[in-house]
Structure 1
Amino acid sequence: MKKLLLLMAVLALTISTSAADKYDNPDTIVVARDGTGDFCTIDEAIEVCRAFMDYHKVIFVRNGVYKEKLIIPQWLQNIEICGENADKTIITHDDHANINRVETGKPMGTFRTYTLKIEGNAITLKNITIENCSARLGQAVALHTEGDRLLFINCRFIGHQDTVYTGMANTRLYFKDCYICGTTDFIFGPSIAWFENCTIESLINSYITAASTPQDQPYGYIFNHCRLIAKPEVTQVYLGRPWRDYGYTLFMNSELGGHIRPEGWHNWEKHREQTARYQEYNNHGEGVQTKRRVGWSRQLTKKEAAMITPETVFTTESKWNPLQ
């Protein structure tokens, strides 16, 4: 009898504790550096979110500079991190690939340098800056993604080499009205990613993309209605080079500045000219020199381009239309 009473007491306490979690609901959590919100750091707000939520949870971040190295773990979903103002709400960190790790004394390497790593699915970022502010001493990732169905709306991604790493094949990402800048291969990885009406700024003469699209994945990076710009001294930039053999990148309906090299694309390794999937359609601007492009890239026909929409691109094992 005593054991039964003890068990009932523990169960009651558990239920009471669960019910007392004031953050287990769809209400917005407010983060503010000055202490006027629910939390002072974004990490604290992420920590109180319930695993595998079936409702939409907003973490509203007031203006400020948040020096944090963040992970949204794989057991979190349906979270939106919304900044007050994209230019004034900044998450920043400064790891780079050649920093020695404390636990091993060996260089950190590219894939641990992220400012924000997203492992969970159905995550949204709005009106916020993600920055890696390290010195140019090695690769330095600002955004590292592994989750599926990720939305980035009116965000800024700032870094130099390897700014945005889309790190998992067959995951789907949609960037709208975003700004991304960097030096070398600053958008790279195997994911399916659509960039709509984004501004892409090259900071040195180098490469914009480095797709590593798997052979069996029909799409990789698609830039639609985007604007490619550069610093005034930058005059020799490639649209991309294939990090792996079957890299897929398409620029369509976009403005290509005069800093884009006439040949457009680089092979990285000679044999990849046989496998890389590099395409363009209906672009405009000084950087459009279709007759001087490398012979192993393609200009799509109107009929081919009409078939490439977010709905078709993002229908893999399940349907997802980020426009709905």
Structure 2
Amino acid sequence: MSATKEPHQQDTLVVARDGSGQFRSIGEAVESIRAFMDYKVTVYIKDGIYKEKLIIPSWLKNVVFVGQSEDKTIITHDDHANINKMGTFRTYTVKVEGNDITFKNLTIENNAAQLGQAVALHTEGTRLMFFKCRFLGNQDTIFTGSEGSYLLFTDCYIEGTTDFIFGPSTALFERCTIHSKKNSYITAASTPQNVEHGYVFKNCKLTAAPGVDKVYLGRPWRPYAATVFLNCEMGKHIRPEGWHNWGKPDNEKTARYAEFMSRGEGTNPTNRVSWSKQLTNKEMNRYSIQNIFKEDSNWYPYR
């Protein structure tokens, strides 16, 4: 005889602003999910604007959040760092503390005015996956906030102004569009010294808003920042030197910045800073998905 779930524990929960689902808010659905489940729960979110400051707590795992449509299922909030001295790390719209959490086909947005840092997505858990999602914001759109954690972004759109992908996690971005809204910096990794892979952009497209023409690929938030762009198409907004040392020349001795087979008008290998690398075919082989996530041998992200 198979075990039965508690009445409110279902494989699929439906959220709808118009009342046609079991819950009107995503937060209510999250609160109903049993801690440390050994089965998967899907939270299906119908189109709508959900103004919520959402935490996926550390005791949740095996949850998949699926939007009805990528551009019409929107989770939004508007905190920024200068509200009551809030600081960057409390400004998130969505904070994911749990492990083995997946988001598909939805938008996570911080629509605060450009008055300070304003995080849309803050990750703390590991084995987090994002498929066909949009991340909208300005400064500090995505904070990958936990050392030793693994993140996968596939077919996503990510926009921002300054350091809009930042933090210490290992993250693979596949076939993503990375859109700069201002002359500034795309990444600000803080990869620990003992971690081989930080940010890996593979087959991505780098675009920019009209008038944006001086964007760096990255600058090191911490000395051993690791960021690579592999087979990426770069618009003409990317500066010829590519990378910046954050005003600290010593960072040039430790930062791990590289490219492989970049293409497009922003490609300029001969003028890149001398302390970045153009990878060889052999070096490129280190960036298989198995090698990037190798320390967690039980996790093989699916497509």
Q: Same fold (TM over 0.5)?
A: yes
Q: Provide the rounded CA distance (Å) in 2 between the counterparts of 1:23 and 1:77.
A: 17
Matched, 1:181 2:166: no
Superimposed CA distance per residue, residues 226-270 of structure 1 (whole angstroms, 9 cap, x where no aligned partner): 000001100000000000000000001110100000000000121
Matched, 1:41 2:19: no
Alignment TM-score, normalising by the size of structure 1: 0.91
Give the corresponding residue for 2:275: 296
Distance 1:282 1:116, change over 3 A: same
Secondary structure at the residue paired with 2:38? coil
Give the corresponding residue for 1:313: 292
Structure 1: which amino acid aligns with 2:44? F
Q: Provide the rounded CA distance (Å) in 1 between the counterparts of 2:118 and 2:71.
A: 21
Pick from 186, 192, 198: which aligns with 1:214? 192
Q: Provide the rounded CA distance (Å) in 2 between the counterparts of 1:81 and 1:176.
A: 15
Report if the CA contact (8 A) 1:99-1:108 is conserved: yes
Report deviation, 1:218: 0.6
Return 5+ residue gaps in structure 1 as ranges. Answer: 1-18, 101-106
Matched, 1:114 2:92: yes
Superimposed CA distance per residue, residues 21-62 of structure 1 (whole angstroms, 9 cap, x where no aligned partner): 42324x210000000000000000000000011111000000
Secondary structure at the residue paired with 1:138? coil
Structure 1: which amino acid aligns with 2:262? N
Give the corresponding residue for 2:110: 132
Q: Provide the rounded CA distance (Å) in 2 between the counterparts of 1:322 and 1:209.
A: 23
Q: Percent identity?
A: 60
Give the corresponding residue for 1:282: 261
Q: Provide the rounded CA distance (Å) in 2 between the counterparts of 1:74 and 1:251.
A: 31
Matched, 1:60 2:44: yes
Matched, 1:147 2:147: no
RMSD: 1.2
Structure 2: which amino acid aligns with 1:85? S
Superimposed CA distance per residue, residues 143-187 of structure 1 (whole angstroms, 9 cap, x where no aligned partner): 000000000000000000000000001100000000000000000
Q: Provide the rounded CA distance (Å) in 1 between the counterparts of 2:34 and 2:289.
A: 30
Matched, 1:97 2:75: no
Give the corresponding residue for 2:144: 166
Report if the CA contact (8 A) 1:311-1:320 is conserved: no
Structure 2: which amino acid aligns with 1:237? V
Pick from 67, 73, 77: which aligns with 2:57? 73
Report deviation, 1:318: 3.5
Alignment TM-score, normalising by the size of structure 2: 0.97
Give the corresponding residue for 1:198: 176
Q: Which structure has the greater CA radius of gyration?
A: 1
Secondary structure at the residue paired with 1:33? coil
Secondary structure at the residue paired with 2:76? strand
Give the corresponding residue for 2:205: 227
Superimposed CA distance per residue, residues 182-207 of structure 1 (whole angstroms, 9 cap, x where no aligned partner): 00000000000000000000000000
Structure 2: which amino acid aligns with 1:234? V
Matched, 1:23 2:13: no
Return 5+ residue gaps in structure 2 as ranges. Answer: none
Kindly tell me the number of residue pairs found equivalent between the two proteins. 300
Structure 1: which amino acid aligns with 2:113? A
Superimposed CA distance per residue, residues 95-118 of structure 1 (whole angstroms, 9 cap, x where no aligned partner): 000001xxxxxx000000000000
Q: Provide the rounded CA distance (Å) in 2 between the counterparts of 1:185 and 1:122.
A: 26
Secondary structure at the residue paired with 2:27? helix
Q: Provide the rounded CA distance (Å) in 2 between the counterparts of 1:307 and 1:21.
A: 46
Distance 1:152 1:317, change over 3 A: closer
Report deviation, 1:319: 3.8
